[in-house]
């Protein structure tokens, strides 16, 4: 029998989440963002559910080839654009749209020989300070692109740094609007947080929204709001089973470093899941876990292949009991990935992307 750990993907949850994001940003077209192998879920596993999107957005050419191989004939956007000139040949062959965020990428286009002009998304650095042209250089970049026979339509794009927080997006929207208000082309500004929080604003939602984490069932502004607030459903469930039980007496310790010491008699379950499976090693005692759908707590240090859970108040729990690390238990109980991520001092994105290759995946029936 294989080791009892499994990541399950719920296609209906993706369908629900995509519809919920569309409702939040009416009339906008939606990119199905599948970078990082669909946030760790697997492009091939989520493709059918994401076909309801208007296009796919991703990072690299290999991912684009996978989406085309699955039969997608609609738009595909390379969010970081190309990395070297020869990448443009494959963009032409696969009919890929791509971001342009620096002069070097314009130079590549200028020397590219193609019979089919490219659709590009010109990116502005409106305050995120990662990729993109500074506002004062943006229009010059647009003018250069517009003069190239290798370029067809130019869309306008930026990315928000604080759509999920108190600072918000107004300062970046103003910068973007001040520079682009009279430029032609479709707009794409909003990520998950901006789509859900500000998508009713026509300027913010633009023509294309780029929801990522929300589609996969994580609240982009947790803990201010959880997935129930946004009407989202968890897509990934990581589950295992109890493979051993120990009785502790006061003074007994658990695991490496003896970081947890019992002060009362305890009954603990040993779970077949550890940091080699992608569960965060730095989760501390008290991190929530479901045992047979009932809330329990992690105790002690997470090991490579195992972790320990307090089942003192769960007489029903035994070897073979279901353990839900995040997601939805068999009885319908929910442990949002955001809760576990918060206990680990990180975000749901990282947990989704970090599930290890040794963990088998299955689609929910």
Tokens standing for 250? 């006061």
Angle, alpha carbons 138-143-148 (nearest 5°)? 130
Tokens standing for 316? 């029903």
Q: 319 and 244 in contact (C-beta within 8 Å)? A: yes
> What is the C-alpha separation between 267 and 39, in angstroms, rounded?
36
Q: What stretches of the chain adopt beta strand conformation (E)?
A: 6-9, 29-33, 55-58, 76-78, 97-100, 118-124, 151-158, 187-188, 208-209, 236-248, 253-254, 260-261, 266-271, 288-291, 294-299, 307-310, 322-328, 334-335, 361-363
* CA distance to 175, 230, 273, per residue, from 114 (Å): 34, 45, 51
Whether 174 is catalytic? no
Active-site annotation holder among 39, 138, 216, 256: 256
Whether 279 is catalytic? no
Tokens standing for 216? 């996969």
Q: In what helix (H) or strand (E) does residue 296 lie, and over which residues does it extend?
A: strand 294-299
Tokens standing for 49? 């559910």
Active-site annotation holder among 35, 123, 216, 279: 35
In 3-state terms, what secondary structure has residue 207? coil
Active site residues: 35, 256
């Amino acid at each position: 029998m294989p080791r009892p750990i499994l990541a399950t993907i719920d296609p209906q949850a993706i369908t629900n989440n995509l519809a919920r994001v569309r409702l939040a940003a009416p009339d906008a077209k939606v990119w199905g963002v599948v970078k990082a192998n669909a946030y760790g879920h697997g492009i091939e596993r989520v493709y059918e559910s994401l076909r309801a999107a208007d296009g796919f957005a991703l990072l690299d050419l290999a991912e684009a080839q996978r989406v085309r191989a699955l039969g997608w004939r609609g738009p595909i956007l390379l969010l970081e654009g190309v990395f070297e000139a020869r990448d443009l040949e494959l963009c032409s062959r696969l009919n890929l749209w791509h971001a342009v965020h620096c002069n070097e990428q314009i130079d590549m286009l200028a020397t590219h020989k193609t019979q089919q002009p490219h659709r590009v998304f010109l990116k502005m650095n409106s305050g995120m300070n990662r990729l993109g042209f500074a506002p004062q250089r943006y229009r010059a970049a647009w003018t250069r692109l517009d003069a190239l026979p290798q370029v067809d339509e130019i869309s306008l794009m930026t990315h928000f740094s604080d759509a999920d927080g108190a600072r918000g997006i107004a300062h970046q929207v103003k910068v973007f609007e001040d520079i682009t208000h009279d430029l032609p082309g479709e707009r794409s500004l909003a990520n998950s947080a901006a789509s859900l929080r500000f998508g009713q604003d026509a300027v913010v939602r633009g023509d294309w929204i780029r929801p990522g984490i929300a589609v996969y069932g994580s609240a982009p502004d947790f803990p201010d709001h959880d997935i129930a607030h946004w009407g989202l459903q968890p897509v990934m469930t990581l589950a295992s089973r109890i493979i051993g039980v120990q009785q502790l007496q006061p003074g007994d310790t658990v695991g490496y470093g003896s970081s947890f010491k019992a002060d009362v008699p305890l009954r603990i379950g040993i779970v077949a899941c550890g940091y080699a499976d992608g569960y965060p090693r730095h989760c501390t005692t008290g991190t929530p876990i479901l045992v047979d759908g009932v809330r329990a707590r992690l105790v002690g240090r997470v090991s490579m292949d195992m972790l320990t859970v307090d089942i003192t108040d769960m007489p029903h729990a035994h070897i073979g009991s279901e353990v839900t690390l995040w997601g939805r238990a068999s009885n319908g109980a929910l442990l949002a990935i955001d809760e576990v991520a918060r206990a680990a001092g990180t975000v749901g994105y990282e947990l989704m992307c970090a599930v290890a290759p040794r963990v088998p995946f299955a689609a929910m029936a």
